[in-house]
Amino acid sequence: MATKIFVNLPVKDLNQSVAFFTSLGYTFNPQFTDEKATCMIISEDIFVMLLVEPFFKSFTKKELADATKTTESIICLSADSREAVDDLVSKALAAGGKTPNEKQDQGFMYGHGFEDLDGHLWEVMWMDPAALNQEQPTAAVSN
């Protein structure tokens, strides 16, 4: 079954958010862009809808989380290499993002992250494909 994912995020200033993510290398679908929202293209099957807060509120009766004070989610993206992880995080920081935590290096897996202009958490991680292909030992189960 083919599935596409659309993550919806509230933003305070759509133009600033578009500028921020454009500086990270992302593009936007003009067919789904107006003064209230835009569709950021992550991949062929993954999209992020950036919705100005009043428009986002029209989809829910719940209060919006202030992502600068609480964590509503962590969006994790994969990268092709350790260098690609560092590159994307560096671009985010240069564009005004913040670093919520330290790099995590577990040898076979490497990750780092950033907060966007609205405080949404983005993790970027790389996993060693060779480590994924190695058969993992199974633990013995005793009764």
Q: Tell me the CATH class for 67-133.
A: alpha beta
Looking from the CA of 124 toward its CB, the CA atoms found within 13 Å total: 24
3-state class (DSSP) for residue 62:
coil
Work out whether the CA dihedral 33, 35, 37, 42 comes out positive or negative. Answer: positive
Q: Tell me, what's the pLDDT at 143?
A: 46
pLDDT at residue 100, rounded to an integer = 83
| pLDDT at residue 65 is higher than 80 | yes
Contact status, residue 49 vs residue 32, Cβ threshold 8 Å = yes
Question: pLDDT tier at 135 (50, 70, 90 boundaries)?
Answer: low
Enter the tokens of residue 113.
């992250």
Tell me the pLDDT band of 81, cut-offs 50, 70 and 90: very high
Question: Helices 14-23 and 82-94: crossing angle, nearest 10°?
Answer: 140
CATH superfamily of 1-57: 2,3-Dihydroxybiphenyl 1,2-Dioxygenase, domain 1 (3.10.180.10)
pLDDT given at position 134: 65
The percentage of the chain sitting over the pLDDT mark of 70, rounded to a whole number, equals 91
